Amino acid sequence: MRIVIAEDAAVLRDGLRLLLTTRGHEVAAAVGDGDALQAAVEEHRPDVAVIDVRMPPTHTDEGLRAAIRIREDHPDLGVLMFSQYIETRYAARLLAGGADGVGYLLKERVADIRDFLSALDRVAAGETVLDPEVVTQIMGAGRRAEALSTLTPRERDVLAMMAEGRSNGAIAEALFLSYGSVEKHVTQIFTKLGLPPSESDHRRVLAVLHYLQA
């Protein structure tokens, strides 16, 4: 199997290269950023690319965005995301483009090297391999996005300003609303997001988290 590795941590990148070559695989390239990954795929046409989610320059979601671009150009290429992090928005987009031959494993949850190698073989064979925690978070993000879609444009404006840390009074002034109108919007937001009154939970914070995560 011909493999390209994209991992910005040099020690882990070399460790993966050694692991795979000693198991009889060909590591055609091992690179440290998304641009180099795309170039390596174009040059070597691997069977599978093993990609970290966070890479230079911002160390946020470059790996996932590169994987989406690569799959658009090479839909038969197997892609195994291998990371400490779950980035739900781009992970959902990657899967929406075709889940065959896509995997997403969390580094700290791979307890046995054989599990990693098995996942690699399955992705190369066109199967989908997802860590259960990845599935849970993607589904949760989808539900949050669905709940947010029920908000009116004005309620979304209010929630966006809540996310900026503004009080109801400040929101009322900025949106030219009465204080009572803002309170009613906030109550509707809590209801639509499924956040009932609770002594243990801060609904305003939870609403903002829904907004940011979705």
CATH number at residue 198: 1.10.10.10
167 and 120 together in one domain: no
Where in the sequence is the domain holding 62, given as residue range(s)?
2-138
User: Where does the pLDDT of residue 53 fall: very low under 50, low under 70, confident under 90, or very high at 90 and above?
Assistant: very high
Whether pTM exceeds 0.75: no
pLDDT, one tens digit per residue, over 62-86 is: 999 999 999 999 999 999 999 988 8
Residue 143 counted as domain residue: no
Contact at 8 Å (CB) between 60 and 46? no
DSSP class of 2 = E
Residue 167 counted as domain residue: yes
Contact at 8 Å (CB) between 46 and 28? yes
Residue 34's CB: how many other CB atoms inside 10 A? Answer: 24
pLDDT, one tens digit per residue, over 108-143 is: 888 889 999 999 999 999 998 888 888 777 766 666
181 and 96 together in one domain: no
pLDDT, one tens digit per residue, over 136-176 is: 777 666 666 777 888 899 998 998 888 878 899 999 999 99
Residue 214 pLDDT exceeds 70: no
Residue 9 pLDDT exceeds 90: yes
Contact at 8 Å (CB) between 7 and 50? yes
Residue 145 counted as domain residue: no
**Taking residues 40-57, what's their average pLDDT?**
94
